[in-house]
Structure 1
Amino acid sequence: MAYKYIGKFDPVKNESVNIMDENGKIINKALMPNIKNETLIEAYKLMCLSRSQDNYQNKQQRLGKILSFLSSTGQEAGEIAYSMHVQKGKDWFLPAYRNNAAWLATGMPMKNIMMYWMGNEYGCVSPEGINNLPINIVIGSQYSHAAGIAFAEKFNKKSDSVVLTTTGDGGTSQGEVYEALNFAQLRKLPVIFVVEDNKWAISHPSSGATAAINFAVKGMATGTPGIKVDGNDFLASYGVFEEAFDYVRKGNGPILIELNTYRLGAHSSSDNPDIYRPKGEYEEAVKFDPLIRMKNYLVAQKLWDDKKQAELDQENEVFIDKSFNEAMASKDYPLNEVFDYMYAEKTDLLKEQYAEAKAFFDQYPESKDGGHH
């Protein structure tokens, strides 16, 4: 495979892979990936589904039916792009906590995702053939896990599996990120490390996370090649990850990919970005909304229209509501499981906490409604 992205865009010069402009018009035709129309439509449908799910779950959280939620709104293009290259039953996906679009695209049932945000850890159990690790809350540690799994896959000489993991711009401030990059490059491990630069780590801007020109350069000290791509441009992201999977699968070692994107929503359902986001920033960023750009492109190619959009919106509404009701019916789990697996044997303090929690729920069983365990 002759590469037209890897090795051709220098992160030191802050060069970025871009194919479409903010209106969805193609500006770099020579960079277009070889992609079928069916794949384009599938990707757009997944992007819309994730966006609709984000909106739905945020409303349910406000009603007290979900404990918390961190949405992918604004980051769908890059997440769908890399997820579509993860081969089921072969490759691995190690998420952070803001990867709703990627979870859907890699095969996680929506019901499971919703169960997790209701407080039921069984929601993180992947179906057979889906090699997804549970949602990772500890910032940056998924990079270490990815290097470990990739080391095991390389030890299995019959494997040509690829491990993909992702973190945000804030995650790159963690030492584990560099330790994982260094170890993976030393051992030439099959890992794709992704940084989704959505410009904010809670209320901390990405400009406060690094003094480097971008995040793609951060692999250089370990000898790991990096490439920056417009993460709101599905075509550019898809093409770059197609090459990245080929590059890594062929035994060339890891690669670091920066998705230049924007978190259009709040950090979480308990956050108000209007407090810290500079005036006008959101209004400027929303011009590059990946869903609008993708829809404009598909319409221009006569692959999409308003009728299809209306039908899709209705279909998604029904599916999301059905998934939520199924999740609500499965949200509960035995109280003892919260305490039984912390240590091999429960400590006296855990026994005391369990007894207190059990007494509370025995007295107020209605407090469990809405997943409030």
Structure 2
Amino acid sequence: MIFRSRRAASLATAALLASGAVAAFGVPAHAAGTETDLAITAAGTRMTDGVGGKIAWAKIANQGEGTPSKVLIKVDVSKLDDNKLIFVPITNGECSVTGETKLEVFTCELNKGEIPKPGETTEVPVVLVKGEDVSGPYTAPVTITIESPDDTDDSNNSIKIDVELTPESGVDLGVIVPDVKTSFDFDSGTEGKKLYPGDTALVYSEVVNQGNLTAQGLKLTFRLPEHVSLAFPLGGCETGAERTVVCDDKDFLLEQDTVLRFELPVVVDEDVEAPVALTGGSLEAVAHGALKPEARISKQATKPDFDRAEVREIEDSEFADIDPSDNTDDFAVIVAATGNGGGGGGGLPVTGVQAGVIGAVGGGVVLAGAAMLLVSRRRRVVLVAPGDEKSSS
């Protein structure tokens, strides 16, 4: 399988803070029919000190039957030495942070488009940045909590995790797969507004190497939800048992700060009962080996000279994946009930999520288009669009 990748900008330079005032967060009573059950998990909070920063993920899953009217995510970093590490959540909604002499608690609101519907998961990027000339080992606890007036079960609304900086070198793969919600017509190259039974679609994914070594060889293992299958054969990909699709390229080089984008064509069974969220999908990325730093510097990803490069198996502890917690990401396929006219129909070319999730960093932005400028400690911050960084103080 021949993969293609693109260079991402340094994650360290993308993690910046912009000062400004934000609105206070009210917590209204829930509206009828919005009751649900939200759950929070996190991945990717361990990084090598050989890089300036990385993107971790706070994942908010909607396990209920309603769509909440409002969702806040709070990240308590009060026990984190922000001279060594900064841990900043990013949403399309407004964010604030408390703390006079150090950062304490970030509070961010999800905007309407980010709030997960039943069966969906919203991945909130959290930028992790180390201080200048800081090295590991260093570990500190962080608490991530979600709040919603519509959540009927708060037992899964808070997690305590360790944020860790390690002196180890290695590959650090990160995977992100958004939920599949729209159809894609491969004949016309157009995307529909929804996904209906019998439609074809794209499972869009991105894999980034946030370590300080080059990954040599890459294996992608997709597990498709029930009632979803590969739309047509792909060169280099094989279909296995239990709805798995394995795509493997043993010669591909994924360098540091490089993003691989991959689209898997799928089709939904015609007889599936909709509306329904088909859960159980996942993607796991594994590197076959790693190149030593000197080999990585002297080789081009498109034309590797393996006779001069030393490649070691990823099982070797010296070159193991720094943080395997973010090597896998789950996804759901959201199928709408057939309405008047039926079928997915045509639409605009795919320019939405396929425009880049992790890869947006390469355009000088942090995922959702938020640019941040690090300033002196302040009580409040707001995320602003690139080019619009203005202090309101």
Give the TM-score normalised by structure 1. Answer: 0.23
Q: Is the helix fraction higher in 1 or 2?
A: 1
* Structure with the larger strand share: 2
